[in-house]
Structure 1
Amino acid sequence: MTGLSEARDDAERAALIEAGRLLFARPCTFFHAAQKPEQLPPPGLPEVAFCGRSNVGKSSLINAVTGQKALARVSQTPGRTRQLNFFNLAERLVVVDLPGYGYAKASKDLQRDWQGMMFDYLRGRPNLVRVMLLLDARIETKTADRAAMELLNDAAVAFQIVLTKADEVGPVKMATRFAEAQALAREHTAGHPLVLVTSSRTGQGIDELRAEVAALAA
């Protein structure tokens, strides 16, 4: 199934949105966690990973997309979770919650460990079909975000930029941030052309994100 960026008309777009709604209305359950490459589960169903800075709102967005309030734990201390968490979505797709990066108080050793672990996962995962790269709509793109894009590009893993916390940004600033995100995607061979704008609090963009993920399911 094609994604929203390939939809030819409103009817096809509506069908994609409905497919996303139906998929995420089904059970999504945690089944595995890994802190080292050797702990990863065997490749199987298509995997879509969610990645972003430690305070980007990743857990809240995963909970909003899956319609489950506590599927991904929202930590009060950004950067605390240092493992990959795997969730089975209706035996059609695996959602992977990657540990956050760029936490200011993280040691350099911990930051290097994150990069090494991520590259091992990204380059050695044949069933990883896309990474949803979350960027905070309220602030400028950080050096750590650009480094993550380069890591994904070097690993030849397709990534799609998802702007979060859109409800906290005015229309003028959002237009600027959206244009910046589009330019960043175009700069990378692995970047997906469609940038999504979301808010886990208001539900903005959640249907579109579900549709994009559903298009990648088995």
Structure 2
Amino acid sequence: MADHAPDGGTGEGLNFDAGDYTPAQIEAGRKLFASGCEFFYAAQTLETLPAPAGTEIAFAGRSNVGKSSLLNALTGRKALARVSHQPGRTRQLNFFRCAAGPIVLVDMPGYGYAEAPKEIKRDWQGLMLDYLRGRPNLRRVLLLLDSRVEIKVSDLTVMELLDQSAVAFQIVLTKADAVKPNALKRKQDEVMALAKKHPAALNSLFTTSSETGQGIEALRASIAEFL
């Protein structure tokens, strides 16, 4: 089953950079992703999901949040996940297997794209809900939020969906290199205050940049812990 948030809700001892990893943990993360990750499956419906195998870590976020770029930065691959210039085009769950251990990265469809047809939005929400509630080997959702923009209604809706599904999620700020330090600190404060309101949210925040590599080592280490 997916991890549950700590008892008593979240918000206690929250920290901004999730960076308290030892050199050994950082090295474990490096080795995991240096071994290579490969795409192996895509599913558009619950019925076509691959058989559960390994530990799944899912990446969720609004369209154009930088999800594909972050996956590429984590794996050291320029085109593992396709970076689309037309937000909202991805309509399926994409699965990537890590060679060094039973870790599977799952790229979830982007949500909240204003120009997507309503029927597609319904399909996306239905697929996400079915996957979150019914996937026995899903252990963590990394919820990506853009450091540059305000929290959207769609972000809040997904957080509530994760709470209802009892799936532990951890917030990851993306594109931190594009925000000045004071503005980034305000964003971190805002996100931490929001996390305290959600029982499924974990008590740490990753702040990342796919351009500069900020936060990538720590995020790799956190995923390698599931080995």
Q: CA deviation at 1:14?
A: 2.2
Q: Normalising to structure 1: TM-score of the pair?
A: 0.93
Alignment correspondent of 1:127:
137
Q: Any gaps of 5 or more consecutive residues in structure 2?
A: 1-13
Q: CA deviation at 1:13?
A: 2.3
Q: What is the distance in 2 between the residues matched to 1:134 and 1:203?
A: 16
1:83-94 equivalent positions in 2, closer than 5 A: 83-90=92-99, 91-94=101-104
Q: Any gaps of 5 or more consecutive residues in structure 1?
A: none
Residues matched between the structures, number: 210
Relative to structure 1, the CA distance from residue 165 to residue 11 in structure 2 (aligned partners, 3 Å threshold; closer, same or farther) is closer
The reply to whether residue 100 of structure 1 matches residue 110 of structure 2 is yes
For the residue of structure 1 that corresponds to 2:201, the secondary structure is: coil
Q: CA deviation at 1:15?
A: 2.0
For the residue of structure 1 that corresponds to 2:82, the secondary structure is: coil
Q: CA deviation at 1:17?
A: 1.3
Alignment correspondent of 1:147:
157
Pick from 81, 84, 101 the counterpart of residue 90 of structure 2: 81
Deviations 1:35-80 (A, max 9, x none): 0000001111000011100010100000000101000000110010
Alignment RMSD, CA only?
1.6
Q: CA deviation at 1:181?
A: 1.2
Alignment correspondent of 1:199:
209
Q: What is the distance in 2 between the residues matched to 1:60 and 1:34?
A: 21
Q: What is the distance in 2 between the residues matched to 1:27 and 1:167?
A: 26
Q: What is the distance in 2 between the residues matched to 1:184 and 1:72?
A: 29
Relative to structure 1, the CA distance from residue 78 to residue 12 in structure 2 (aligned partners, 3 Å threshold; closer, same or farther) is closer
C-alpha contact 2:21 2:218 (8 A) present in aligned 1: no
Relative to structure 1, the CA distance from residue 35 to residue 16 in structure 2 (aligned partners, 3 Å threshold; closer, same or farther) is same
Q: What is the distance in 2 between the residues matched to 1:80 and 1:128?
A: 24
- The one-letter code sitting in structure 1 at the alignment partner of 2:63 is S
For the residue of structure 1 that corresponds to 2:172, the secondary structure is: strand
Q: Give the ranges of 4+ consecutive aligned residues of structure 1 lying more than 6 Å apart after TM superposition.
A: none
Q: Which has the higher contact order (CA 8 A, sep 6+)?
A: 2
For the residue of structure 1 that corresponds to 2:203, the secondary structure is: coil
Relative to structure 1, the CA distance from residue 12 to residue 145 in structure 2 (aligned partners, 3 Å threshold; closer, same or farther) is closer
Alignment correspondent of 1:30:
39
Q: What is the distance in 2 between the residues matched to 1:76 and 1:98?
A: 17
